[in-house]
Structure 1
């Protein structure tokens, strides 16, 4: 699991942070889409992997899209862009 932070002066760092696991799943900040405490309880109940970082909870984008269908399109767009950015970062590091 690797963490990334998108550069911006507008949003808080935790909102610009995402994680990418070895299978290509993007983990996004739950607090951007729902109440973090509620999401934490749901993730635990569902047995879904999560990331805790700097006091925030990050969940798989696929889970967020399923649990919060109102945000599904937005989540997919963000996850696709996050994957693309992560690939660019990895390529630049080599």
Structure 2
């Protein structure tokens, strides 16, 4: 699993961990649960109920971006941006 982050935009207030994402060995992109707009532990409970895997990094939980976008529509725009960046990174490799 490799970790990356989106560059901070001029008007962005997101800390680095909220802009971080991982690409696992299967090519699944994992994004921070905090993007859901609800407490991370609630996102974790939803993922557990759905049997969706998650990863912890630096005291924050990360979930598959496609699952996040589907389950928490507020996160979908950021999930798409992160997926696009992950695709660019994968193409360079």
1:51 aligns with 55
Q: CA shift at 1:19, angstroms?
A: 0.6
Q: Provide the C-alpha distance between the structure 2 equivalents of 1:32 and 1:70, rounded to a whole number of angstroms.
A: 8
Provide structure 2 residue ranges, at least 5 long, that are not aligned to the other structure. none
Q: CA shift at 1:23, angstroms?
A: 2.1
Q: CA shift at 1:66, angstroms?
A: 1.1
TM-score by length of 2: 0.77
For residues 30-86 of structure 1, what are the alpha-carbon distances to aligned partners after superposition, in whole Å with 9 as ceiling and x for unaligned? 112232111011111111111101110100001001101343344223212223135
Aligned pair count?
89
Q: Provide the C-alpha distance between the structure 1 equivalents of 2:5 and 2:33, rounded to a whole number of angstroms.
A: 15
1:19 aligns with 22
Provide structure 1 residue ranges, at least 5 long, that are not aligned to the other structure. none
- Relative distance call for 1:87 and 1:16 in structure 2 (3 A) is farther
Q: Provide the C-alpha distance between the structure 1 equivalents of 2:78 and 2:19, rounded to a whole number of angstroms.
A: 15
* CA-based RMSD: 2.2
Q: CA shift at 1:28, angstroms?
A: 0.4
